[in-house]
A and B are shown apart, each in its own frame.
Chain A
Amino acid sequence: MKYVRFILKSLTRSKRRTLLILSTITLSVFLVTVLQSLLTTLDAVSNNPTSSNRLVVRHKSGLAQVLPMSYLAYLKQQPEVEFATYLQWFGGQYKDPSNFFANFASDETTLFQVFKEEFGASGVTEDQIQDFVRDGSGCIVGQSLADKFGWKVGDVIPLQGTIFPISPRLTIRVIFKGTKPSQENVLHFHYKLLEESVPRMKGKVGTFFLRVHNADEIPRLSARIDNHYANSASETLSETENAFNLSFVKMLGNISAIIQGITAAVLVAILIVTAGTMSTAIRERTTEIAVLRAMGFRTGLVMSLLLGEGVILVGAGGIFGVGLASLAAGGIRKGVGASVPFLEDFTLLPSTMLLCLGITFVVGLLSTFIPAYQATRRPITEGLRSIG
């Protein structure tokens, strides 16, 4: 392309302006890419393929209510169910409220059967599991949680109850790895410990998790369970684990609408800024454009050269912005992910990066099109006269 050199040189006309617009676009695209990746990350929480064959059964009136433990027998009997377990959100604090992480009172054996993939990926041995099973005040923690607080196997972790009036001291028996960081920010201890020290939890539990043979059977199964307990003292609500997780994401508010709103605002802002800059850049060149056309450059060619300039400029900003976002992803996982649930899984999907680049490309075209079109529609003679 013999014109590329010409286009690139045109961008050196005002280096300060080129740098200014480049950094504006880079920052905006960075922001848009991070926001969009936030969305896809949250989306993945409720779209986890390994959770698709799990069903969560809880009290119909909300998570604060508990179900009779006796339900377990009925649930296990259902032919679709491969394994069943139960767990209770404990909500304990470690030293300071800001050290938030998920901790559960869980059944020490069936936990590993139902969450086979999650624990299986960690290479936790049967011996290690037995260490945990044997120790009534033992616990297992995820690797990233252990890393965060510098824990190792054998350490004693004091947990201060916030929902329940107990503060167990738990000995770490296993540190496991999950398939993604969010699975590792968790602690499980023996359900019996909770049940024995909190009278109101005797024979009660918050949620049952069922692993089914075939995900297709979930709708039928959940309908049957909810039907079975309809009109009982404790009615149930059964849903897939993904749907269950989605309800937590939703607690963060209508994040999707907020993010899309911010994205749209940022895009409009870049559009305005680039259109303004490009139209100044093009207006300054009225005479030059007239000279090019006088020497025989067709209108369409001049137009393409100007559009090329806009696209290269905005496109470079887009590539820098997306690149910056992918460099920052690790930091976001560690930094923001430590305090905001789900964001420990923050990732930039290739499709998100492509989408952001595509949008940037379109913005580049749009913002240059109008001033370029106006410039090439002007009579040549007018352009030549404009410097007198």
Chain B
Amino acid sequence: MNGTLNGSMNGDAIIKLRNIAKSYWRETLEIPVLQGIDFDIPKGGYYALMGPSGSGKTTLLNLIAGIDRPTGGSLEVCGYELNDLDDDELAAWRNAHVGFIFQNYNLIPVLTAFENVELPLLLTPMSRRERRERVEEVLALVNLEDRMLNYPRQLSGGQEQRVAIARAIVGDPDLLVADEPTGALDHQNAEEVLNLMARLNTDMGKTILVVTHDPKAAHHARFQIHLDKGVFDKTVEVNR
């Protein structure tokens, strides 16, 4: 298949997609969205998923992040064959292995920055104190230690997205998935968020998969995957 990247089909792959297909049904009519996707992403990779609107980027990202199920094929992510996990196991798996970053930040408005970041840790056996230390640590990492007690409405868009990033990494997941993380941000805030993500990749070794339309955002990644009409079009290594 055209989209297979040389050198990434190795045992170190954190994401292994085999003949992945996803269809939706409208009445009896099958609408194929993804067809025969074979792909590996190595641990520590930073990939941008690009393509025209409706090409299936979000759908693919959701499958990899374990919040949707494929209609065909198999996918192994962070060492687990996701088809083998039931819904509760999959939820626990997401908590342990995946951090989500959304276009609209999706912070809980009635919770402070601190409480928003703490949420994923509530599912862990960590004590209250351990949680507090960990939350303060990641908020410092995104330079928001002085905004811990602010509510989302008291933060700028860029700050909100940084809180969301803190929330995504607080549980120390292996994989970060982001769907248009800079889509709602102005140039400067977008730049800040992209730099932060690059640091998470280089300094902390997080594997990052980001869906984006923005060429600048895609430029921060080390590889760009192009999806068209549900099949891989091409993969390009980003030259710096």
Contacts and interface: CB of A to CB of B under 8 A. Distances in A.
Nearest to B106: A291
Best-surrounded residue of B87, B96, B167 (most CB of chain A within 10 A): B87
Nearest to A287: B106
B128 A296 contact: no
| Chain B contact residues, majority secondary structure | helix
Contact of B123 (A9, A287, A296): A296
Nearest to A9: B110
Interface in B92-129: 92-96, 100, 102, 104, 106, 108-111, 115, 119-120, 122-123, 128
A384 B67 contact: yes
A381 to B, nearest CB: 5
A187 B65 CA distance: 84
A296 B94 contact: yes
Given A2-B122, A12-B110, A298 B62 contact: no
A3 B115 CA distance: 11
Contact of B100 (A9, A294, A379): A294
Interface residues of B, number: 28
A228 B94 CA distance: 88
Contacts of B119: 6, 292, 295
B88 interface: yes
Interface string A342-382: 00000000000000000000000000000000000001110
Contacts of A12: 110
Interface in A276-332: 287-288, 291-301
Nearest to A382: B68
Contacts of A385: 58
* Contact size range, A: 20 to 34
A288 B108 contact: yes
Best-surrounded residue of A293, A294, A299, A384 (most CB of chain B within 10 A): A294
Contact of B95 (A295, A379, A381, A384): A295
B91 interface: yes
Interface string A1-43: 0110110011011000000000000000000000000000000
A296 B91 contact: yes
Given A10-B110, A13-B110, A381-B62, A293 B91 contact: yes
Nearest to B95: A296
Contact of A384 (B87, B93, B102, B111): B102
A381 B120 CA distance: 19
Nearest to B177: A294
Interface of B: 58, 62, 65, 67-68, 87-88, 91-96, 100, 102, 104, 106, 108-111, 115, 119-120, 122-123, 128, 167
Nearest 6 CB-CB pairings of A with B: A296-B95, A380-B67, A291-B106, A9-B110, A296-B94, A298-B91
Interface of A: 2-3, 5-6, 9-10, 12-13, 287-288, 291-301, 379-381, 384-385, 387
